Structure 1
């Protein structure tokens, strides 16, 4: 007779989407999921632009051409992470890219980490978008690991997923990315162990404001309107989110370069025919 695996779940709304935190096994502190929820809510409070926050205060100073102190530790850590993933994506991920301004945002920002302050050569404003979800899952995952959790699955709106350890039945956590026009088909199937998954697309919910960073190529400010879907797997949610966004807006040459760096974990599909730019995507479905 099979022994049931202890499970626990925390469901709530944050960052404009449904969050689910699933814990498996008896290990770990009993209040770990609640602590992870608090970590996600702290990211939401710091990075949101839809109500007063540390980010809206930062944006007001930067738009006014003033030096902006970064007093919030969560926002500071997010900016440190952005500095790293901006470089890793050839500058294609830029949460300050905005068609209203003539220059891509992050390139015009001076980030003084020692003094914890920003200044910009031109008006800029941050919109963390999907990056915020991946960053929040990273912080929640860190809380769970510190509490002794060895198997968990964290989801933010189903397009941002992070897993801790192996599946409770052993091996990787299997995920299939559905085809947006055919629910019986999938674009790609992946298995995760201690990794994060991000899905970005130019079709479907969340694409109503294309002028901001998620669908804007930073260097030439081209808005990407062709039907596309990008999938990225990485060790952190922050990198996975940045990479899926970068793939979505990339020109063909840079898309190929990004995919070639990690062909098993980066995929770009042109819809509705869902032809993968990377051969590894086709192989994963065989």
Structure 2
């Protein structure tokens, strides 16, 4: 993504987390240690939600695969589950992080029983969760909250460039402007977005990011259909986690789901058929 206009940040933190490159840019004001606090917030989310090394999430998945009740001892994981539950409802079931089952009938997210008071999760059938379509946005939400608590009022946070959050207005005033490149041709702009105190998520079935060896296929929960149509979803929301869930939901949506979720303003879906001009679905 390209940013219009430049001003030097008063602090920058770059590191790897959530399986991608993270950049945190602070512009003026706030606790001098604010960026370090934001980095720790992101790394804490990574530690809680990763399924690629021992974590609270892998312990939960081990229990659920074995048909046992999972006791959630990490408050971040429990909070993530609660937020995903809200996202599952908001997307009419099109965002579903369960893996290894078809999310219909007795399977999928709706089969989980989350007891927020007892901090437990159970399921009648073996199941596991993958937080890949949620974690980066959630991590940016936690980092943004840490920055605000530290007195920072202007910042740009990026996780792999497909997940972005901004605090306040641009340091030069007004909105932060981003040009979203066409995944088929980085020299072309898919759409331009303006943000103030908001988050942005981009999901696509085409482009270099889809070729990562550990990237799972995007599957429609209701029927298990693997999504191969060339599409890109661009979503802006107050919450990075919700933006991630909505962009994933738009990618896997059937026609009826697109009608419900796509609004052409903050929730956009593009048809990226090879050789065709950029076309927003439902236009």
Q: Same fold (TM over 0.5)?
A: yes
How many Å separate the matches in 2 of 1:147 and 1:194?
16
Contact 2:103–2:224 (8 Å) recurs in 1: no
Residue 108 of structure 1 corresponds to which residue in structure 2?
Answer: 111
Distance 1:154 1:56, change over 3 A: same
User: Deviation of residue 105 (structure 1)?
Assistant: 1.9
Listed as ranges, the matches of 1:192-271 within 5 Å are 192-204=195-207, 205-206=209-210, 212=216, 215-260=218-263, 263-271=264-272
Residue 77 of structure 1 corresponds to which residue in structure 2?
Answer: 79
Residue 193 of structure 2 corresponds to which residue in structure 1?
Answer: 190
Structure 2 segments unaligned to the other structure (5+ residues): 1-6
TM-score of the pair, normalised by structure 2: 0.91
Contact 1:104–1:218 (8 Å) recurs in 2: no
Q: Given the alignment, which residue of 85, 88, 94 partners 1:86?
A: 88
Q: Does the alignment pair 1:277 with 2:249? A: no
Residues 222-253 of structure 1: CA deviation (Å, up to 9, x unaligned): 11011111111000001000000000000011
User: Deviation of residue 183 (structure 1)?
Assistant: 2.2
User: Deviation of residue 39 (structure 1)?
Assistant: 0.4
Structure 1 segments unaligned to the other structure (5+ residues): 280-286
Residue 3 of structure 2 corresponds to which residue in structure 1?
Answer: none
User: Deviation of residue 94 (structure 1)?
Assistant: 0.7
Q: Cα RMSD (Å) of the superposition?
A: 1.9
User: Deviation of residue 206 (structure 1)?
Assistant: 3.9
User: Deviation of residue 100 (structure 1)?
Assistant: 6.9
Distance 1:139 1:90, change over 3 A: same
Residues 111-153 of structure 1: CA deviation (Å, up to 9, x unaligned): 1111110110211101000310000000000000011101000
Distance 1:54 1:206, change over 3 A: farther
How many Å separate the matches in 1 of 2:65 and 2:215?
17
TM-score of the pair, normalised by structure 1: 0.90
